């Protein structure tokens, strides 16, 4: 029963595979609706089961409040991504060359990836953690190369090579920690270890694996190229779901495994966070391609997210989960507009967005709200999320880091405003007329933009996350 | 000589040296090979050294269970999946570029994507 959401997702994937085989091409646009209803059913199952906790398979699969929240966030991200991909896969596009093929397989691969991420949130020993981590990674290589043109496959090549390297490092690091502790269960490992040279080597290798998934700065090089080369909906999925999976992995490694030894690496985490946000922000300023620009923006957002690890878990865990929720809806709103615009025009440069407020005022408004949300302008949810994260770092005594994060937020406002300036101040190109907004896109944009406003205005959501997760692991590890 | 060598059983130090060596060769290969298939082979070496680590530690640190050996089997299966996906991408890429030389993968730049 506790595995119901995962089973629904996997069942939907197999159902889609069968339907794709027996349906005619005229019926196939309904595949997206089947996928969406599967994800919707999984969300409903998650919400119903949410207060429960327990374990299966001798403790190898366990759910608690934080695991449920991660699953809910992954499902939201996956469902929205399916809604955003529909137009591109069904051919409701204006420009040639942007259509993606094989829609049945596309949804299947995405749903399997989603199931992998959900299993990872529940993994409790090294075998299930590694297997689910790979299930949450390998399908993404396929998705990045989905368009099969020169750029998309090049993105796939870069992703597969660097992903495999990160996976090898992570595996070797896990092997070292296994050797030091003789334990496979995540929670027993940390208790059986003392810090020493081999331990540090193992932790550094694990950090490299986690950093790759979460695009922390020394390990971020793949992001720009893969985000730019991959099809736009896949980039959207990578930037939210894959990053969420990285955070879930980091929770496992730094809270569950290394929790008893916490406090050794606060400074190291602070340095990672400062590097990540600074490099991401300053690189974003000069980008011309909007997907590449969003890649660096996503890197800097990962830096803010990392601030939550500095304080006590009771404060940090709810703040990070809430910020991830905010980031998922806000970033998907921006990507919704990017996908819609490239569907209809085939254009992807920032300056191509000039005059969008004249031709499609509502879409431009949605993009502006979402960009301001990412920058953290007060009434929007991005501000609230950042406020909690910054206050955790301040409480932990990292005042220099909070100052740096505030400066970075200001810098980020500058480059998000670059896009807004193109849309609102520059005149439209001669001959540009209003572009059609499809129902799927309208729905996805409305949901994401409204959520990114409401999450910041109504405190109910943060209070719920906080009430359910603030006591996570208390008493067992610290 | 042969008899003397036959009595010398390798200990954990020898096995761990072997895995470290394999891992180092793998990383070296990833950094220096120009052909993407060669890089994938190097990645396999690194992954297998990680799997071997688990088996070695299983034998010398936690011999009461077989967790580490199970892990090694899973790693082998996953590595195979990784290689299949990688090769499929390389084959598609080869169709476009007539090469899988990683030093020439430079089409994605900030100026690209203008259509």
DSSP A369-392: HHHHHHHT-TTSHHHHHHHHHHHH
Taking the C-alpha atoms of residue A227 and residue A234, their distance in angstroms, rounded to an integer, is 8
SS3 content of chain B, % helix, strand, coil (to 5): 75, 0, 25
CB contact under 8 A, A171 and B112: no
For residue A293, the chain B residue with the least C-alpha distance is B110
Contact residues on chain B for A171, CB-CB shorter than 8 A = 47, 50-51, 75
**Backbone φ, ψ for residue A244 (5° rounding):** -60, -40
A339: tokens are 């996908």
In angstroms, the separation between the Cα of residue B41 and the nearest Cα of chain A is 11
Taking the C-alpha atoms of residue A308 and residue A273, their distance in angstroms, rounded to an integer, is 10
Give the residues across from B75 on adjacent strands: none
pLDDT at B113: 47
pLDDT at B112: 55
Percent of chain A exceeding pLDDT 70 equals 98
The predicted-structure confidence for A347-358, as pLDDT tens digits, reads as follows 889 988 988 898
A164: tokens are 């495999």
Taking the C-alpha atoms of residue A173 and residue A160, their distance in angstroms, rounded to an integer, is 20
The kind and range of the H/E element at A308 are none
From A145, A151, A158, residue closest to B112, measured CB to CB? A151
Cβ contact A441:A89 at 8 Å? no
A291: tokens are 């997907």
What mean pLDDT comes out for the span B40-60?
94
Taking the C-alpha atoms of residue A393 and residue A304, their distance in angstroms, rounded to an integer, is 10
Within-domain flag for B111: no
Q: Which residues 45-104 of chain B have a CB within 8 Å of chain A? A: 46-47, 49-51, 53-54, 56-57, 61-62, 65, 67-68, 70-71, 74-75, 78, 81-82, 85-86, 88-90, 92-93, 96-97, 100, 102
Total number of domains constituting chain B: 1
Give the residue numbers spanning the domain of B63: 11-102
- The SS3 assignment for B35 reads strand
The predicted-structure confidence for A54-94, as pLDDT tens digits, reads as follows 888 888 899 988 999 999 999 999 999 999 999 888 887 77
Contact residues on chain B for A184, CB-CB shorter than 8 A = 65, 67-68, 71
The predicted-structure confidence for A117-168, as pLDDT tens digits, reads as follows 999 999 999 999 999 999 999 999 999 999 888 889 999 999 999 999 999 9
Within-domain flag for B107: no
A204: tokens are 């550094």
CA distances from A393 to A373, A386, A400, A404, A406 (A): 21, 11, 9, 11, 12
Within-domain flag for B109: no
CA torsion sign for A365, A72, A78, A326 is positive
The predicted-structure confidence for A376-394, as pLDDT tens digits, reads as follows 888 889 999 999 999 999 9
The top-scoring range by mean pLDDT among A251-255, B46-50, B107-111 is: B46-50
Mean pLDDT of chain A: 91
pLDDT at B1: 74
Give residue for tokens 């096995």.
B15
In angstroms, the separation between the Cα of residue A208 and the nearest Cα of chain B is 14
In angstroms, the separation between the Cα of residue B2 and the nearest Cα of chain A is 32
Q: Which residues 20-39 of chain B have a CB within 8 Å of chain A? A: 23, 26-27, 30, 36, 39
Residue A464 scores a pLDDT above 90: no
Mean pLDDT of chain B: 89
**Backbone φ, ψ for residue A284 (5° rounding):** -65, -30
Percent of chain A exceeding pLDDT 90 equals 66
For residue A138, the chain B residue with the least C-alpha distance is B82
Within-domain flag for B112: no
pLDDT at A97: 66
CA distances from A358 to A348, A419, A435 (A): 18, 14, 11
CA distances from A10 to A5, A28, A142 (A): 9, 19, 18
Cβ contact A152:A146 at 8 Å? yes
Residue A47 scores a pLDDT above 60: yes
Residue A320 scores a pLDDT above 80: yes
Best mutation target, A99, A135, A154, to test chain B (most B CBs within 10 A): A154
Which has more confidence, A311 or A216?
A216
Contact residues on chain B for A296, CB-CB shorter than 8 A = none
Question: What ipTM score was computed for the predicted complex, to two decimals?
Answer: 0.93
CB contact under 8 A, B50 and A172: yes
Residue B6 scores a pLDDT above 80: no
Residue A478 scores a pLDDT above 60: no
Buried b (16+ CB within 10 A) or exposed e, A263-280: eebbeebbebbbbbbbbb
Residues B91, A212, A82, A234, Cα dihedral to 10°: -50
Residue B115 scores a pLDDT above 50: no
What mean pLDDT comes out for the span A453-478?
80
pLDDT at A46: 95
Instruction: CATH number of the domain at B83, please.
Output: 1.10.287.3510
Within-domain flag for B92: yes
CA torsion sign for A419, A421, A425, A429 is negative
pLDDT band at residue A99 under the 50/70/90 scheme? confident
pLDDT at B114: 44
Within-domain flag for B71: yes
Taking the C-alpha atoms of residue A434 and residue A339, their distance in angstroms, rounded to an integer, is 16
The kind and range of the H/E element at A318 are helix A313-345
Of A277-286, A367-376, A427-436, the least confident: A427-436
DSSP assignment string, A75-86: HHHHHHHHHHHH
From A148, A179, A229, residue closest to B57, measured CB to CB? A179
Contact residues on chain A for B78, CB-CB shorter than 8 A = 130-131, 134, 138
Contacts of A452 (CB under 8 A, 6+ apart): A326, A329, A330, A333, A369, A370, A373, A380, A381, A382
Best mutation target, B22, B107, B108, to test chain A (most A CBs within 10 A): B108
Contact residues on chain A for B22, CB-CB shorter than 8 A = none
For residue A97, the chain B residue with the least C-alpha distance is B115
A159: tokens are 């992703």
Contact residues on chain B for A153, CB-CB shorter than 8 A = 89, 92-93, 96
Q: At what angle do helices A30-49 and A103-122 cross, to 10 degrees?
A: 10
pLDDT at A96: 64
pLDDT band at residue A95 under the 50/70/90 scheme? low
A18: tokens are 């069968």
Percent of chain B exceeding pLDDT 70 equals 96
A441: tokens are 């896109």
What mean pLDDT comes out for the span A395-414?
93
Contact residues on chain A for B107, CB-CB shorter than 8 A = 150-151, 154
Q: CA A477, A196, A314: angle at the middle one, nearest 5?
A: 25
């Amino acid at each position: 029963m506790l595995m119901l959401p995962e089973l629904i997702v996997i069942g939907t994937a197999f159902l889609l595979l069968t339907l794709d085989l027996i349906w005619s091409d005229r019926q196939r646009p309904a595949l997206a609706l089947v996928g969406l209803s599967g994800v919707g059913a999984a969300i409903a199952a998650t919400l119903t089961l949410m207060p429960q906790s327990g374990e299966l398979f001798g403790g190898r699969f366990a759910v608690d409040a934080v695991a449920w929240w991660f699953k809910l966030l992954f499902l939201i991200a996956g469902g929205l991504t399916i809604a955003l991909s529909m137009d591109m896969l069904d051919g409701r596009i204006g420009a040639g060359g942007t259509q993606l093929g094989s829609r049945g397989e596309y949804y299947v691969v995405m749903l399997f990836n989603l199931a992998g991420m959900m299993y990872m949130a529940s993994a409790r020993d090294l075998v299930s953690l590694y297997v689910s981590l790979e299930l949450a990674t390998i399908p993404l290589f396929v998705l990045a190369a989905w368009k099969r043109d020169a750029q998309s496959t090049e993105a796939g090549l870069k992703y597969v090579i660097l992903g495999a390297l990160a996976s090898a490092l992570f595996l070797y690091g896990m092997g070292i920690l296994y050797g030091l502790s003789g334990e496979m269960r995540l929670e027993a490992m940390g208790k059986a270890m003392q810090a020493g040279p081999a331990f540090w080597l193992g932790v550094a290798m694990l950090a490299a694996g986690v950093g790759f998934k979460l695009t922390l700065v020394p390990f971020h090089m793949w992001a720009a190229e893969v985000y730019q080369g991959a099809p736009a909906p896949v980039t959207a999925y990578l930037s939210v779901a894959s990053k969420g999976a990285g955070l879930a992995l980091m929770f496992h490694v730094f809270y569950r495994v290394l929790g008893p030894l916490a406090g050794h690496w606060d400074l190291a985490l602070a340095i990672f966070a400062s590097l990540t946000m600074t490099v991401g922000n300053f690189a974003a300023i000069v980008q011309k391609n909007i997907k590449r620009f969003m890649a660096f923006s996503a890197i800097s957002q990962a830096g803010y997210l990392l601030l939550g690890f500095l304080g006590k878990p009771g404060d940090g865990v709810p703040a990070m989960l809430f910020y991830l929720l905010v980031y998922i809806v806000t970033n998907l709103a921006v990507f919704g507009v990017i996908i819609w615009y490239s569907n209809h025009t085939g254009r992807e440069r920032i300056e191509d967005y000039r005059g969008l407020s004249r031709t499609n005022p509502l879409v431009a408004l949605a993009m502006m709200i979402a960009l301001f949300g990412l920058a953290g302008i007060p009434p929007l949810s991005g501000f609230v999320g950042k406020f909690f994260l910054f206050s955790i770092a301040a409480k932990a005594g990292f005042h220099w880091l909070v100052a740096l994060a505030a400066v970075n937020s200001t810098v980020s406002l500058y480059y998000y405003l670059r896009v807004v300036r193109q849309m609102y101040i520059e005149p439209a190109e001669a001959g540009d007329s209003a572009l059609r907004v499809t129902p799927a896109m309208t729905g996805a944009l409305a949901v994401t933009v409204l959520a990114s406003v409401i999450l910041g205005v109504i405190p109910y959501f943060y209070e719920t996350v906080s009430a359910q997760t603030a006591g996570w692991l208390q008493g067992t590890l610290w | 000589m042969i008899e003397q060598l036959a009595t010398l059983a390798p200990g954990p130090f020898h096995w761990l040296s072997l895995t470290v060596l394999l891992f180092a060769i793998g990383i070296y290969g990833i950094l220096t090979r120009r052909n993407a298939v060669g890089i994938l082979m190097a990645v396999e070496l690194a992954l297998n050294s990680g799997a071997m680590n688990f088996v070695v530690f299983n034998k010398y640190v936690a011999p009461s269970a077989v967790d580490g050996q199970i892990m090694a089997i899973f790693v082998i299966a996953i590595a195979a999946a990784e290689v299949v996906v990688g090769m499929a991408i390389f084959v598609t890429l080869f169709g476009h570029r007539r090469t899988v030389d990683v030093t020439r993968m430079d089409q994605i730049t900030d100026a690209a994507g203008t259509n």
